[in-house]
Structures are given as C-alpha cells and as structure tokens.
Amino acid sequence: MNLILLGPPGAGKGTQAKLLSARFNIPQISTGEILRSAVRESTVMGVRAKGFMDSGSLVPDEVVVGIVEERLLKADCQNGFILDGFPRTIPQADALGQTLQGLGKDLNHVIAITVDTNELIARITGRRTCIKCGKGYHITFDPPKVDGVCDLCGSDLCQRDDDKEETLRMRLQVYDKQTEPLISYYTAQSLVRTVLGQGSIEDIQRSIINLVEERA
Ligand code: ADP
Ligand code: ADP
Ligand code: ZN
C-alpha cells in the first residue's frame, strides 16, 4: 500500500503516519525528520537545508526529491510506504510520479487531513518531540506520563525551533500557497480521500484505516 498523507503543519500527519506504519508494517518516510537529522549531523545537505527550515520556507525541490528517490529504493519499501510531508509542491509531485513509474509502483491513496487554523496553531505551539526516538507529544492534548520525558524510551522531549509562533505563520502561508494545490492535482487522478483531522487520535486513525481498506 503506497500512501501520501497530505495536510498543513500540525494536521497530525506524523502522528497518524507512525500508527499506520506500525499497523501495516510499512515505513513512514518523513522528509521533515530526515532533514532535521541531517541538520543535527551537519551533513552537506543539512547545512544547505537549515536556513530554509529556520525561516519556515521550503527546502529546494531537488534536495527533497533526491532524499525520497533514494529512500524509496530501500528494501523496506517493497510492500508499501507512507509519505509524510512529501510531496509539498507540484514539481515534487511530478518527480514522485516519474520515480514511481520507473519503479513500476502506483500510488494507492492520498489522504488529505483537514484541521482548523486555530487548532493547528494550538497544536504546533504545544508540540514536543522525543530527541531520541522521535515520538511526538502535545503538552495538553497528548502529554507524556512524566513532564518532558518520553514514555517509550525515557529521553528528553524538545520543542522544534521552527514551531515558534513567527515561523509557524510563515509555514501555514507556505502550505496554502505551495502545497494545498496538490489536493486538486491528486483529485484529478481520483486519489484523494479527505479525513477530518479533529477529534481523538484513535478515531482519526480508525477513519483513515477504513478509507484505505475500502480501496486496498
Ligand atoms: P504534522 O506532522 O502534521 O505536523 P503532528 O503529528 O506532529 O502533525 O501533530 C502536531 C501536534 O498535534 C503534536 O503535538 C501532536 O501530539 C498533536 N496532535 C496530533 N493529532 C492530534 C489530535 N487528533 N488531537 C489533538 N492533538 C493532536
Ligand atoms: P510539519 O510536520 O510541521 O508540516 P515537517 O517536519 O514536515 O513539518 O517539515 C519541517 C520543515 O522541513 C518544513 O518547514 C520545510 O522547511 C522542510 N521540509 C520538509 N519536507 C519538505 C518538502 N517535501 N519540501 C520542502 N521542504 C520540506
Ligand atoms: Zn523516545
């Protein structure tokens, strides 16, 4: 099953992708996570990407397209994958289409997750992430058992640099301008299924599973 999760920052893509990945045993491919780890390790790509990420704009298409092309070749993508945060522009979607064609794969579903802007802001400003295993939390909506400590691995939680209010507004604008047009792009290919991303994490997961199993 080859899936794209599409939605604005804070829609719950990462949260839902991790649950789907565990359930269907297919990898989550998060370009944001791959880029953040490149920044932490100060690789050539990380150094190049950092300025774009800090300002809330998109990293150039060729950088992220390269990441995804390489990732899709790995053996664990054989039975499917969940793209989280990619594609984010029409040229990225075109490049993905070509890559998949070259690999003899099709996209099965594009799940568009919708959430009100005010809720997105509340979610992003309260988002925390485990520095070691990457599990996501929310200080109010999905708190860890012990403040600031990951339930799964006991490591510290941190706030992303780009989750501060100023950068966040820029990211929401970038989404509207550059990424939202992908909904029409994939609607034209009859791939889009929309899920209301508000309510409990479990209920939303169930809605997504229902949608993908319907068309599996
Ligand atoms: P995205 O990957 O789309 O940016 P995340 O999955 O990181 O979004 O979720 C953003 C924040 O909202 C996180 O702090 C997460 O814990 C929280 N969150 C995710 N889903 C829900 C939900 N259904 N209700 C409330 N908070 C949620
Ligand atoms: P969120 O889950 O909040 O939407 P991500 O973790 O997906 O955020 O992305 C964080 C940042 O990484 C983006 O603001 C952007 O700078 C960069 N990034 C991630 N994915 C892409 C992509 N597909 N194209 C360009 N930039 C990207
Ligand atoms: Zn952890």
In this structure, is residue 145 part of a structural domain?
no
Is 128 a known active-site residue? no
Ligand 1 neighbourhood includes 18 CB (under 6 angstroms) = no
**CATH number of the domain bearing residue 45:** 3.40.50.300
CA-closest residue to ligand 2 atom 5 = 32
Which residues sit opposite 82 in a β-bridge?
3, 28
Max CA-CA distance within the chain? Answer: 47
Number of domains the chain is built from: 1
Does residue 127 fall inside a structural domain?
no
110 forms beta bridges with: 4, 192
Does residue 126 lie within any of the structural domains?
no
Residue 83 placed within a domain: yes
Q: Known catalytic residue: 171?
A: yes
In a domain, 80, yes or no: yes
Q: Is the CB of 58 under 6 A from ligand 2?
A: yes
pLDDT band at 56 (very low <50, low <70, confident <90, very high): very high
Q: Is 123 tagged catalytic? A: no
Q: Is residue 134 part of a domain?
A: no
pLDDT at 216: 46
* 85 Cβ below 6 A of ligand 2: yes
* Euclidean distance between the first and the last CA atom of the chain, given in angstroms as a whole number: 7
Parent domain of 209: 2-115+179-214
Say how far apart CA 40 and CA 50 lie, in whole Å: 10
Q: What is the pLDDT of residues 138-157, one digit of tens each?
A: 999 999 999 999 999 999 99
Mutate to test the pocket of ligand 2, among 58, 120, 168 (most ligand atoms within 8 A of CB): 58
Question: Does 11 sit in the ligand 1 pocket, CB within 6 Å?
Answer: yes
Classify residue 49: in a domain, yes or no: yes
Which tens digits make up the pLDDT trace of 66-101? 999 999 999 999 999 999 999 999 999 999 999 999
Q: Which of 13, 18, 71, 128 is catalytic?
A: 13
Asked if pLDDT for residue 162 goes beyond 70, the answer is yes
Type of residue at 144:
P
Is the residue at 30 inside a domain? yes
